[in-house]
Structure 1
Amino acid sequence: MNNAPLITPTSTPLIPASTKEIVIFVGYPASGKTSLYNKYFKPHGYIHVNQDTLKTREKCLAVVREEMTFGANGCVVDNTNRDKSTRAYYIAMAKQLHVPVRCFYFTASYQLAKHNNFYRAYVAKDVPVAEKRTILPETAFIGFKSALQEPDETEGFDEIRRVNFKFQGTEEDRRLWSRWMS
C-alpha cells in the first residue's frame, strides 16, 4: 500500500485562494486525472478542458482563452500532455494572459494505468453514463510511454506537483480493483 500523500509537495494549498490559473495535467490515460479534477477543482469553479471531448487542440486553446478572459476561476487541461511542445501552447497562453500556470504530474505507472483502464470499463459502478469509458487500445499507453517528457521548471511552470495514485471507492470496490493487481 502506498503511504505517500496524494499530492506533493504538501506545503502549498491545492487551490489558490484568489488567483485565476491554468492547470495542466500530465499523465497516462486512466491515471486518475479526471477523478482529481472532479473531486478537487470542479467544486471551485474550474472549467474542464479535454481534447477527447473538444476533438482538437485549437478548440481546447480557444476554450481556455475564453474562460480565462471572461471569468472562470481556472481551467484544467485534462489531456495526457505528454511532451514539452504540447504543454508549451498552454504555458505561452498563461504568460500572455498574465495568469499562473501549474502542472500536476500523475506518477501512475504504465501497468497501473493499463489496469485502471480495464477496471473503469468493466468493473467500475456508480459511474454516470456520460462518464462510462471504453477500453483504450494498447497504443494509447505505448504512445504515451514512448513520448513522455517529464515536466520541469524550465518549461515556465509556476509550480509542479506530483500526484500519486490512490484508489478511491468503497471496500468492495477496492476488493474488485485489487483482484488483478500484482
Structure 2
Amino acid sequence: MGKHSLTKDHSRRNAVVVAAVGVGAVVALPATAQAATVQVPGTDFSAEVPDELIAAAGDYTGVDVNAVAGDVASQANLPAAPSSVGQQIADKALSKQGAPYVWGATGPDAFDCSGLTSWAYSQLGKSIPRTSDAQAYSGTPVSLDALQPGDIVSYYAGASHVGIYIGDHKIVHALNEGEPVQINDLDYMPINNAVRF
C-alpha cells in the first residue's frame, strides 16, 4: 500500500474518504448522483437509472417507471420469464386442441384422455402411468383449491377420465369419440380427485 499524507489544506471529508477506501468501504459522497432502481417486470433484470437521465428526458411525474422498463424490454426482444414445469405441461396439452379422440391413442396426432396427459408430461421428460385410474392414484393428492397448471384432475368414481388443469378453473382434455381435444370448465363433469406429479 502506498504512503498517504494529508496536508492542512485537505478537508476533513477527504480524510474520511481516504480512511474508508483504505478499509475497502464504498463511499457515496453527498455530491454523488442519485439513481432509481428499475425492475423489468417478469424478469430478474434490474438496472440503476441515474436521476440525471430521468430529468433529461423531461418531467414524467406520475409515470410508472417499471411499466416503461417493461415496454423497453419487450421492444428489445428480451426473453420472457421462464414458466413453471406445470405450465409447460399445460401448454403442451393445449397445443393439441382440435386433435381427434381415438381410444388407446397416445399422440402425437390423436389421443384418448390419459394418452393426452401422459403425452404432455413426456414432452418435458416426465414419465407418468398410462391409464386414467393409475394416474389418479399415483401422484400426490392436491385439493381443488390448491390446483396449479399441469395438475391432473380425474373424473367419475374410479377415475375413468382425466384432464390437465390449465388455470382459471379450466381443464384441457380428450373427452370421447367424436369430440376433439378441448377446453372445458373444471367442474364440467363430477370430479373424483386431483394429483400432482
Normalising by structure 1, what TM-score?
0.22
Normalising by structure 2, what TM-score?
0.20
Normalized per residue, which structure has more helix? 1
Which structure would you say has the larger Rg?
A: 2
Higher relative contact order (CA 8 A, sep 6+): 1
